[in-house]
Amino acid sequence: MIQIDNQVDFLRVAVFEVDGLGHQPASPEFDAWIDEQCRLAIAEKATPEWETRREAIRAMLRKGGFKPSGRSKPAQEYLARCLDDAKFPRVHPAVDCLNAISVRSGIPISMLDRQAFGDRMQIRLGKPGERYVFNSVGQELEIENLIVVCGGVNEEKPLGSPVKDSMAGKIDKTVSRIVCILYAPQESVSENLLQHWAETLRQSIQRFAMLQ
């Protein structure tokens, strides 16, 4: 069950869970799929539609009072820059699927350990002074006024966002059950379009990142 705070009534989300995640090495078939997704993404991000969506995602984050710039850019913009530099990240089959679909769609996506949430999750704006560690070297993201998805006790612990996910929620090789959250502006991304990309991501995870 997910609850969206009234402060973020401008947000549209798609959420799905996958159980039975595998942690096998990438296959040649998967490598070829990723290469194809990168080729498609390079073409798609050169279109006016992708650029319009990039601006809409930034405007969505600014509505809450967050400044999406510098190291706090939406996640799909970082991925788009990696494409430009021919250094698309390869992390784990499930995460690689997410990154490919996020950069193609122009939509930021979280992939988190479902066990970190308990029975419910809440989406709200980050509170004054809130922050979380987002990488293995201990760097922190200041999340005041940022859209965050929360779980744990009373659904209060921030675990992910459209910018970077927290280390407390990220998956590792012990995780078998995940939840994915796609974030988009209500005014410019239709429910059908968001569900299309959610289903595309779900199918790619089931194809390439499930237990064999």
Is residue 46, in this structure, part of any structural domain at all? yes
For the segment 72-131, what is each residue's pLDDT rounded down to a tens digit?
A: 999 999 999 999 888 899 999 999 999 999 999 999 999 999 999 988 899 999 999 999
- Distance, CA of 67 to CA of 45 (rounded, Å): 22
Confirm whether 53 is domain-assigned: yes
**Each residue of 10-29: b (16+ CB within 10 Å) or e?**
ebbbbeeebeebeeeeeeee
Distances (CA, A) of 131 to 50, 140, 152, 166, 201: 30, 6, 16, 9, 28
Residue 90 domain flag: yes
- Domain for residue 123, yes or no? no
Q: How many domains does the chain have?
A: 1
In a domain, 128, yes or no: no
- How far apart (Å, rounded) are the C-alpha atoms in residues 35 and 88? 10
Give CA–CA dist 174/157, Å, rounded: 21
Instruction: Name the residue range of residue 88's domain.
Output: 14-117+166-208
Give Cα 25 distance to the centre of its chain: 22
pLDDT digits (tens, 9 = 90+) for 173-190: 999 999 999 999 999 999
Assigned domain for 122 exists:
no
In a domain? residue 180:
yes
C-alpha dist (Å) from residue 57 to 48, 52, 75: 14, 9, 10
Q: Is 132 inside a domain boundary? A: no
* Structure tokens that stand for 84 in this block: 């430009």
